[in-house]
Structure 1
Amino acid sequence: MTWDQQNPYQHGYGYGYDQNPYGGQQQYTQHPYPQQQQYPQQQQYVDYGYTPAPEQTAPLPPVEPEPEPVREPVAVVEEPRPAPDPRSESESESEPPSEPKPRSAGRDRYFDTLRAVALIRVVTYHTFGWAWCGMVFPSMGIMFGLAGTLMAKSLERPALKVVKSRLRRLLPPFWFWGFFVVMAMLIHDWLPGWQIVYWVVPLGDPPGNAWGEQAWEILWYLRTYLWFVLLSPALLWVFRKAPVPVLLASLAPILVLNFVWSGPDNRFGSALWDLSTYLFCWILGFAHRDGVLQRMKPALVVVGSLAALGYGGWYAFSHQADFGTYDLDENPLAQAFWSAGFVMLLMWAKAYFKIDFAWLARFKKLDRAVTIFNARAVTIYLWHEIALILAVPLIDQMWNVPAFEKWLPLDSQWFMFGVGWILIAVFVVLCGWVEDVAAKKKPKLLP
C-alpha cells in the first residue's frame, strides 16, 4: 500500500478519498464525504378508500346470473425505503421539474449506487494505491456532483435552515471520530496550538503530528464540502442567472491557479485548490437539479464531455515528469477536467435516459448493501483509514498462529483489503449510530 506520494503544492494539495493523501509535507486532505447526500421524501400515503359498486342495470342479453362483483382490495406495495443519507435532509433526491417522475416515492437508487461505488473505490485506492483508479472512476468528482444536486434541492427551503441542517449532520460524526484521533496524538507527544479550533469546525485543515497523519489527511474532503455548503446559496443564485455560462466559467479558477497564480501556501491556499478543482462538479449538480443538462442538445453534451476527458487525460500523461505519476490525485488540473467530463456524462445520461436503478429492489442483499453505504457514508469515510491502519498490526499477529501462516495469504494486499473491510464493518456497527443522532433519528446499529 503506497502512502507516500509527492505533493506539488505542499500544504495546498492533498487528496484524500479520491486522492492519495500520504506523504510529502503536511497535507490537508479532502474526502467523500464522501459525498453528498440524498434526501428521503416523506412517506406518502395513498387513500384507497372503498367505493360502492354502481347499481345494477337490466341485463342485456339473457345470460346466467353472475354473482355480485366482489371488489378486491388494492394491494399497497411499498418500496423498501432506505435509511437517510448521512448528509441528507428530510426530502429525497428527485429529478429536475421538467422530467416525469416514474415513481411517487423513494430514493433515487442510481445516485445511491454511485455513492456506494465511490466509497468502495476510495477504500480500494487507499489500500493498493493504483494510479489508474481515478481514471476508471473519479470518486470525489462524483461525490461532489451528487452533493451539489442534493444541495440545490434542499435550497428550495430557507438557506439558513439548510446550512444549519448540513452542519448538524456533518459535525457530530466528525467530532466523535476526531476525539479518538486527537487523544491518540496527544498521547504520542503532540502539542497543539490555537489551530486546534479546526478540530471543532474544519474550515481549515485540522493540525496534527506525523503519528496520526495517515488518519487525518482525509479531512480535506470534509473541509471542501463544508465550504461548498456555506457558499451554495450564493453560487446557486449566480448559477440561475446564467446557467450555461456559469457552468463553463466554473473551470476558470483551476486554470488560473495552475497557469497564472498558485495561491498562498497556507490553509487558505489548500482550500482554494480543492474548491477550484471540484467547483465544476458541484455546479454540475445544480445543472442536473434544474434540468439544464436535459435541455441541452445531446451532441453538445457528449462532445463537451469527451473534450474535457481528452484534455484531462492528456495533461495527466504528458506531465508525468512534473508529478512523478499520471495519478489524477496528484494533478489538480487533470483531475478537474477528467472529473468534469466523467460526471457530466453520468448526470446527462441519468436525465436523458431517465435512469433510476429501480431494478435494484429486486436484489434484496445488494439493495440492502447500497442502503447501508448511503446511510453510513460519513462513518465509512472517516473510519476507513483507521481500519486499514489497524489491519497491519492485526495481520502481523496472525503470523504467530501456525495455522494462519500456513493457510491464509497473510502477505497479500488483497487479504489486507478484506481485513480492512471487516474492520470497517465493525466501525459501522460501533460508531454509525452517531449519524442517526446527528439526523435526529433513533440510533440503530444498522439502518
Structure 2
Amino acid sequence: MSRGRDRYVDFLRAWAILLVVGGHWLITALVRGPGGEIRAPELLATVPWTQWLTLVFQIMPLFFLAGGHAASGSWGRARAAGGTVGGWVRQRALRLLLPAAVYSGLVLFALGVCEAVGVDRGTLALVGWAMAMQFWFLPVYLLLSALTPALHAAHRRWGVLVPVGMGAVALLADVLAVGFHVPVVGLLDYLLVWGVAYQLGFCWRDGMLGGRRVVPAAMAVSGIVAFVALVRVGPFPVSLILVTGQTPSNTNPPSAAMLAWAVAQVGLCLLAAPLVRRVLERGRVWGVVRPVGGASMTLYLWHMLPVLVAAAAFYLTGIAPQPAFGSVAWWGLRVPWLLVLGVVLIGVVWALRPLERGLVVLYERTRPQEAGPLRRSSLLRLGLGLVASVWALGYFAGHGFAYDGRFPVLPALGLALGTGLVMLPGVRAAPRSEEEEYGSVAEEAA
C-alpha cells in the first residue's frame, strides 16, 4: 500500500462521521406531552430489539484506525523534518481544541442566556445533554494524540505486539472492573480499547496488516466469534451504545466485547479496502467523499443542533404527528425526520463557513514554529492546558452542558483555560500547503 495520501483512509473517516450522525438522529425520539413539554424517550431502552442496530452504527473503531494511520504519517514527517514532540503535540491538540472550544462557548453562551431569562431547568438539562452527547470522543482522541510520539516509538520497536499487549491489558482491566467490581481500573479501557484501534492504524500504514488477506480475515473471524461468545455466554449486552441502567456497559467504559468488535471491524475494513479503493478512483465518487471529510469536524460537533430546530418547529408547535412510539407508523416517519435534519444540517454547515475561515486564520497564527524545541515553561503550559482541556471535555461528555439545568462554571473555565494555555506558546509561522492546513480531526494529512 502507498505510504502517501490514501483516499480509502479519508473515506473511512467520512463514512464513520456519517454513520455517527445518522445513528444519533435515528435513535433520538421526541414526544410532546399533554402540557406541551418535550420528552426524549430512550429508544434503545424502550424498544430493546433496536440495540442490534448498534452493530452497524457503532463505527468509531474505524475512525480511531484512520486517525492512527494519519497521525503515524504526520509524526513521521515531523520527525524527518526535525520537528519536536512538544510542537507536534500542540499542533495536533489545536486541531481539535479550537473548533471544540468555539462550539462549546457558543452553546454555553446560549444556555447561560436561557438560564438567566428563566427557562425551565429540565429543558436546559435535556438540551445541554443533547448538545454534548458526542463529546466522549474528544478527550480520548486528545489524549491519544498527545501520546502519539511515545506510542509510535513503541510501534517502531515492537510493531504488532503493541496493540496485542494493549488488548491484553484491556481485558485484564475489564476482568477487574466487571468481575471484581473495581470500576476505577475500567477507566483505563477508554485509552486501551480505543488505543488498540489507533495503534492498528500505525501497523496498517506500515504494511503490517494488509500484506496478506489471511491476516484481516483472521481478525474479522476471531473478533466476531469473540463478540458472540462474550454476549451469549459472557456478561455483556449486545448494544454497542450506552443504554441507561444496563450493566455492564460496552461503552462506559469500553468493554471486552467492544474490543472484539473493534478487531472485527478493522479486519472487515482491510478486506474491503481493494474494492473500495477502486471505486474511489472514480472522480464523481471522490468528489462526494472529499467535501464530507473536509467538513467532518463541523458535522460531528454541530449535528444535534438540527434536532433542536426540528423540535422547536414541529414538536413545540404540535405540528408533528405522533403515532405510537416504536410502531410501524412511527418508523415510517423516521424517513422524513432524517431528511429534514439533513437539510437543516446542510444549512448549518453553510452558515458556519465564515466561522470556519476564522478558525483557519486563528490556527495559522497560533500554531507552533516548526524549527526549534519549545521552552520548558512552554512545555509545562502545554501539559497543564491538555490536562485542563481533557478534564473539561470529559465532564461535558459525562454530564452535558447544563447538568441539573445549571450553568457549569468550573468546566467552562477549565476548557477556556486549557485551550488558552495550549495556544499560548505559539508564534507566527510561514503558511503551509493546502494539505497541511487546519481543517478538522478528520482532515489530517494521511
**TM-score with structure 2 length normalisation?**
0.61
Alignment partner, residue 329 of structure 1 = 241
Alpha-carbon distance between aligned partners in 1 of 2:105 and 2:21, rounded to the nearest angstrom: 22
* Matching residue within 72, 92, 96 for 1:170: 96
Q: Which amino acid aligns with 1:429?
A: W
Alignment partner, residue 395 of structure 1 = 314
Q: Which amino acid aligns with 1:174?
A: A
Q: Which amino acid aligns with 1:302?
A: A
Q: Deviation string for 1:353-412 (max 9, x for gaps)?
A: 48634645432xx4333122111111000111222232222223675599xxxxxx9981
Greater mean deviation of Cα atoms: 306-315 or 282-291: 306-315
* Matching residue within 300, 313, 316 for 2:228: 313
Greater mean deviation of Cα atoms: 178-187 or 278-287: 178-187
> Following superposition of structure 1 onto structure 2, how do residues 40-439 of structure 1 map, counting pairs within 5 Å?
95-97=1-3, 107-129=5-27, 130-136=50-56, 138-156=58-76, 157=78, 158=83, 159-189=85-115, 209-261=125-177, 270=187, 272-295=188-211, 297-318=212-233, 325-330=237-242, 331=250, 332-347=255-270, 350=273, 353=274, 356-357=277-278, 359-363=280-284, 366-396=285-315, 400=319, 412-436=333-357, 437-438=359-360
- Please state how far the C-alpha of 1:211 moved relative to its aligned partner: 4.2
- Please state how far the C-alpha of 1:278 moved relative to its aligned partner: 1.1
More helix by percentage: 2
In structure 2, the residue corresponding to 1:218 is in which secondary structure?
coil
Are 2:219 and 2:266, in contact at CA under 8 Å, matched by a contact in 1? no
Distance 1:414 1:349, change over 3 A: closer
Alpha-carbon distance between aligned partners in 1 of 2:315 and 2:73, rounded to the nearest angstrom: 48
Are 1:110 and 1:355, in contact at CA under 8 Å, matched by a contact in 2? yes
- Higher RCO structure, 1 or 2 (CA under 8 Å, sep 6+): 2
Alpha-carbon distance between aligned partners in 2 of 1:300 and 1:243, rounded to the nearest angstrom: 15
Alpha-carbon distance between aligned partners in 1 of 2:171 and 2:183, rounded to the nearest angstrom: 17
Alpha-carbon distance between aligned partners in 2 of 1:124 and 1:318, rounded to the nearest angstrom: 31
Distance 1:251 1:238, change over 3 A: same
RMSD (Å), alpha carbons: 3.4
Alpha-carbon distance between aligned partners in 2 of 1:223 and 1:399, rounded to the nearest angstrom: 38
Q: Deviation string for 1:81-127 (max 9, x for gaps)?
A: xxxxxxxxxxxxxx455xxx7xxxxx532222222221221122112
Q: Which amino acid aligns with 1:328?
A: L
Residue identity (%): 23
Q: Deviation string for 1:108-149 (max 9, x for gaps)?
A: 322222222212211221122343343235410000000000
In structure 2, the residue corresponding to 1:292 is in which secondary structure?
coil
* Structure 1 residues without counterparts, runs of 5 or longer: 1-94, 102-106, 191-207, 403-408
Are 1:96 and 1:288, in contact at CA under 8 Å, matched by a contact in 2? no
Q: Which amino acid aligns with 1:338?
A: W
Greater mean deviation of Cα atoms: 242-251 or 228-237: 242-251
Greater mean deviation of Cα atoms: 141-150 or 298-307: 298-307
Distance 1:254 1:127, change over 3 A: same
Q: Deviation string for 1:158-196 (max 9, x for gaps)?
A: 233332221222222112211122123323549xxxxxx
Distance 1:434 1:249, change over 3 A: farther
Distance 1:281 1:183, change over 3 A: same
**TM-score with structure 1 length normalisation?**
0.61
Q: Deviation string for 1:32-64 (max 9, x for gaps)?
A: xxxxxxxxxxxxxxxxxxxxxxxxxxxxxxxxx
* Structure 2 residues without counterparts, runs of 5 or longer: 28-49, 117-123, 243-249, 322-329, 365-433
Are 1:148 and 1:286, in contact at CA under 8 Å, matched by a contact in 2? yes
Are 1:392 and 1:416, in contact at CA under 8 Å, matched by a contact in 2? no
Alpha-carbon distance between aligned partners in 2 of 1:290 and 1:214, rounded to the nearest angstrom: 39
Alpha-carbon distance between aligned partners in 1 of 2:239 and 2:230, rounded to the nearest angstrom: 11
Q: Which amino acid aligns with 1:428?
A: V
Are 2:13 and 2:63, in contact at CA under 8 Å, matched by a contact in 1? yes
Alpha-carbon distance between aligned partners in 1 of 2:295 and 2:334, rounded to the nearest angstrom: 25
Alpha-carbon distance between aligned partners in 2 of 1:396 and 1:185, rounded to the nearest angstrom: 20
Distance 1:301 1:110, change over 3 A: closer
Are 2:219 and 2:263, in contact at CA under 8 Å, matched by a contact in 1? no
Q: Which amino acid aligns with 2:72?
A: A
Distance 1:284 1:434, change over 3 A: farther
